[in-house]
Structure 1
Amino acid sequence: MDLLELFAQHDPIVLITLGLLSLLAGFIDAVVGGGGLIQFPALMITYPNTAVPTVFGTNKIAGLSGTSIAAIQYSKRIKFNWKLLLITATSSFIASFIGAKLVSTINVNFLKPFIFFMLIGIAIYTYTKKDFGSFSTKNLTANKKYFYGFLLGILIGFYDGFLGPGTGSFLVLGFVALLGFEFLEASAYAKVINCVTNVSALYVFISQGNYIIEIALIMAVANVSGSILGTKMAILRGNQFIRKVFLAVVCIMILRYGYDVFYS
């Protein structure tokens, strides 16, 4: 069976809808992370009878495609501290693996109220502090940068493996709050780290056959297109634009976790 026959098995309206939502998710994810808050629920709603691991695998293929392109685009404009990136990526990779292992043995719901109120605090602080992330605010020694990068990787990597939604946004926040980066620089670093934390999970899903290739391809193309647009917009419009998108994504996360805490 060729790809055209595979595509013919799906409702064209569903494919177009997924493509448009993946485009939007790629745009948001490239700017400040959090595209999965749109893309994953879209898959779950349009394919409710599909096994969750298959939905995860399909979503990861599309998401990693866009994130990789965004990382490449940012690398052309942002000068990376490669040692800091390596330390943060390594610690996040290990912590993500540990978090994924623990998720089946611990009830994750006990963390959701804490995350919900933490997100409210982040939204209030970001909204009231107008210059938050507008420029570099810390002049740290190299050792402090590497330590904070290691710590950030442990915390966010574990969260990514244990829960996951909004990992890219938490990475951006961590680079701004802990290392004093401006939003544009933080977004660039977050994209590279996000690629690393997703590679191992994607390898598992692909090796197990947990993906729908034709859906993944459509979403990947749309996600990459949105990612290119988002990266260009972030670079062109700068930190204040990224700050506004960050606030919007945090508000979406508050609604999502609020629903989980009070209604789910």
Structure 2
Amino acid sequence: MLCVAAALAGWVDAVVGGGGLLQVPALLIGFPHLPPAYALGTNKAVAVVGTGAAAVTYARRAPVDVRLAAKLGGVAALASVGGAFFAAGVDSAVLRPLIMVLLLAVAAFVVLRPQFGSAPSGGPVTRRRVLLTLLVAGVGIGFYDGLLGPGTGTFLVIAFVALLNMDMVTSSATAKVVNVGTNLGALAMFSAQGTVLWQVAPLLAVFNLAGAALGARMALRRGSGFVRVVLLVVVVTLVAKLAYDQWWA
């Protein structure tokens, strides 16, 4: 079950982000007495492999500004270390409603603007926009990835489309490079805290890598329309999962 979940998580993560929606619950089900911090730490150890494979696949075939993506990834890595440091002391029940509202706004925006992310806008990407992206995607989303995690890739995709005028495929490709940084930063902190199940992580990483490679190739082949549909499915699923955790779990 865990290997299948890891492969599916890799596929979803490579297309539009949000693989943690599958992998973290699967770890908690597979190890029912596992503290949540171990599920989050193990998920990072697995996801960093699949995300790295997807990033390489995208970088070879999509027009990714590797220099900018690496800069964003470095900032996000440092921010995710800070998020992971504070993860144990934050009441996630306070943050979930805010995240749900943000995700619902994202879903409504994507539905009401069918052309959003279907093609580059062609507008200039100014230095101010790049700095804003460093602040929002690098610092803000990077910190969130270390703190909670689910939906990080999805938030990155939306941020790059909105702020850097990218199409969905290029945005997803760039998000993978940045996500490698956030995963590495959070993993470093979780490793230092001893909350990674290294006995199972390597096997799950192999399946995650296979799913990620397939997902990246499908996104490149099918284009922005396909990524857009998967994005909406992931957003709705994430909202449902957060709602369940908030009011019924």
SS at match of 2:146: helix
Q: TM-score, normalised by structure 1?
A: 0.86
The answer to whether 1:233 aligns with 2:218 is yes
In the TM superposition, what are the counterparts of 1:182-261 in structure 2 within 5 Å? 182-207=167-192, 209-261=194-246
Is residue 108–residue 162 contact of structure 1 (8 Å, CA) maintained in 2? no
1:143 matches 2:127: yes
Partner residue of 2:151?
Answer: 166
TM-score (norm 2): 0.91
* 2:32 corresponds to 1:32: no
C-alpha deviation, 1:142, in angstroms:
4.1
Partner residue in 2 for 1:52: 36
Contact 1:87 1:149 in 2 (8 A): no
Output the amino acid matched with 2:100.
F
Instruction: Determine whether 1:75 maps to 2:25.
Output: no
> In 2 relative to 1, CA 84–91 (structure 1 residues): closer, same or farther, beyond 3 Å?
same
Please list the CA deviations of residues 197-236 of structure 1 after superposition, one character each: whole Å capped at 9, or x if unmatched. Answer: 1112223444555433342122111111111110110000
Could you tell me how far 1:138 is from its partner in structure 2? 4.8
**One-letter amino acid of the structure 2 residue matched with residue 164 of structure 1:** G
| Gap change, CA 1:58 and 1:183, over 3 Å in 2 | same
Task: Please name the residue that 1:87 is paired with.
Answer: 71
- 2:99 corresponds to which letter in structure 1? I
Structure 2 CA distance, aligned partners of 1:37 and 1:159?
15
Map 1:122-141 → 2, pairs under 5 A: 122-141=106-125
Aligned to 2:84, which of 77, 97, 100?
100
Query: 2:162 is matched with which residue?
Result: 177
The one-letter code matched in structure 2 to 1:195 is V
Aligned partners of 2:84 and 2:189 also within 8 Å: no
Change (3 A) 1:208 1:94: closer
> Matched residues, percent identical?
39
Does 2:94 align with 1:110? yes
1:106 shift after superposition? 4.1
- The letter of the residue matching 2:146 is G
1:30-76 deviation digits (Å, cap 9, x = unpaired): 00000110011001011112343333332222211111100000010
Letter in structure 2 aligned against 1:88 = L
> Partner residue of 2:141?
156
Unpaired runs of at least 5, structure 2: none
For 2:4 and 2:101, the matched residues in 1 are separated by 31
Gaps of at least 5 residues in structure 1 are 1-16
When residues 257 and 218 of structure 1 are mapped into structure 2, their CA distance, relative to the original with a 3 A threshold, is same
Matched length: 248
Q: How far has the Cα of 1:111 moved from its partner?
A: 2.2
Q: Is the 8 A contact 1:84 1:145 kept in 2?
A: no
Task: Rate the CA distance shift 1:204–1:117 in 2: closer, same or farther, 3 A.
Answer: closer
Q: Using a 3 Å threshold, how does the CA distance of structure 1 residues 210 and 98 change in structure 2: closer, same or farther? A: closer
> Are the equivalent residues in 2 in contact too, given 1:87–1:146 (CA < 8 A)?
no
User: Partners in 2 of 1:141 and 1:166 — Cα distance?
Assistant: 25
The structure that has the greater radius of gyration is 1
Q: Structure 1 CA distance, aligned partners of 2:232 and 2:91? A: 29
1:12 aligned partner:
none
Relative to structure 1, is the Cα distance of residues 140 and 126 closer, same or farther in structure 2, using a 3 angstrom cutoff? Answer: same
CA distance in 2, matches of 1:79, 1:127: 26
